[in-house]
Structure 1
């Protein structure tokens, strides 16, 4: 073998030795980076929430491996619970249960070495019927109150589906500009509201509406929210929990 051929052979051998990982005790392994650090988990540790409450993990840095993050999250009540995953941006992972969570139950959330626990309440379920213009509340499976209501009028229909209560407000300003209606429009409004529960981030609420009491129970006149009389709205505010479901249908 001449000198050129020998050098070429040695170069190829060295390249192959670097490309093929050795086995055994001296093997070198390269680990993928772990999930991004967790900034918060909701429900918070020790919280009592409604039976449709999702579990949300917020990260302090962008998550590049979403599949791995989803596999790292588990929600259990003795056994793992079925659910679905969704993302809001690259720093917020939400797990939504399949159906309602069991009432009066303790749940454990694990994400890596992060562990929290929360409890569900008795189960406060509201049924908003846009055909009968009623808002019916059950607790623990028993109907406890049926209230006249008014939902979204034509062109501003209340969305159908099941929505967990996201937030509660004793007082809140309703501004039509937040749903794309200018104040100088015939449909514009700026109202001091009370006894409000947010159902969607797009602006659907259950709330007190003294201005529509005459239509509650017989017609739909709102801009998409569920209108209740002040006394009914305050009662619902005092009894509903964040995470309790509202089922809206015709």
Structure 2
């Protein structure tokens, strides 16, 4: 009789666990369902530079970021190495660990969506803050221009940055970097032929006001200043995702 009662108890427990799917312990570790992928950039068939990041936007806030990252694969012939940065609770950015292959199709798989974009021939730029020059290579041909970078205390950050946007004109407001307009250092000006390098506000752009310093001294608040004609030429020849390397 005791054996029959014990068997009945075990059978009931198994049935209850089956009804719950994976049992109490399994239910506690079931990953939440991810929101749908709303968009992916670059856009399908877009041609971009070899340092282009990939941004995935979800339809709602993501609570399990690690799970979301595991659903994303960026590949040429094989998966490409990179790292993730969350721009906010819905936007995830993947940046390549090395340059993307040139003139190649790149496939992005994100959730149940996928897109394919192309890379260009590998246009790159080099900002030498010691020699006050900005050199651009297109198909192996270099063009070197005089430039002025960030002055002492407002130095241009060192590193390699992809061009994040191209803006025919942009308003530069010193208040966005903590300098009041009433300060002797304050400014509110319109820049032209601008390429954003960081979300913190570092650009390459036309700066007619600093032409006399370009090639000789660093006088900007962190941006890379070029003469108007040089800035327009770069604007016409640069693609989103082209890398700019800054160094001393």
Residue 79 of structure 1 aligns to a residue whose secondary structure is: coil
Shift of 1:99: 1.0
1:232 aligns with one of 221, 224, 230: 230
The 1-side partners of 2:56 and 2:77 are apart by: 21
Say whether the 8 Å CA contact 1:136–1:143 is kept in structure 2: no
Say whether the 8 Å CA contact 2:133–2:145 is kept in structure 1: yes
Q: Which residue of 1 aligns with 2:97?
A: 98
The 2-side partners of 1:32 and 1:180 are apart by: 42
The 2-side partners of 1:45 and 1:38 are apart by: 15
Kindly report the root-mean-square deviation, in angstroms, between the aligned alpha carbons of the 2 structures: 2.3
Q: Which residue of 2 aligns with 1:136?
A: 135
Q: Which residue of 2 aligns with 1:48?
A: 47
Alignment of 1:78-93 (within 5 A): 78-93=77-92
The 2-side partners of 1:91 and 1:15 are apart by: 44
Q: Deviations over 1:200-235 (max 9, x none)?
A: 111111000111111100100001100000000000
Task: Please list every run of 5 or more consecutive structure 2 residues that lacks an aligned counterpart in the other structure.
Answer: none
Q: Which residue of 2 aligns with 1:17?
A: 14
Shift of 1:10: 9.3
Matched, 1:39 2:38: yes
Q: Deviations over 1:115-153 (max 9, x none)?
A: 10100111110100000000000123x242000000000
1:190 aligns with one of 188, 191, 199: 188
The 2-side partners of 1:56 and 1:18 are apart by: 45
Alignment of 1:1-250 (within 5 A): 13=10, 16-18=13-15, 20-21=17-18, 28=21, 32-140=31-139, 142-250=140-248
Shift of 1:165: 0.6
Shift of 1:58: 0.5
Say whether the 8 Å CA contact 2:36–2:111 is kept in structure 1: no
The 2-side partners of 1:91 and 1:128 are apart by: 33
Q: Deviations over 1:150-187 (max 9, x none)?
A: 00001111110011011111111111111111111000
TM-score, normalised to structure 2, is 0.90
The 2-side partners of 1:117 and 1:13 are apart by: 54
The 1-side partners of 2:47 and 2:132 are apart by: 30
Higher CA-based Rg: 1
The 2-side partners of 1:128 and 1:143 are apart by: 16
TM-score, normalised to structure 1, is 0.89
Shift of 1:38: 0.8
The 1-side partners of 2:216 and 2:164 are apart by: 28
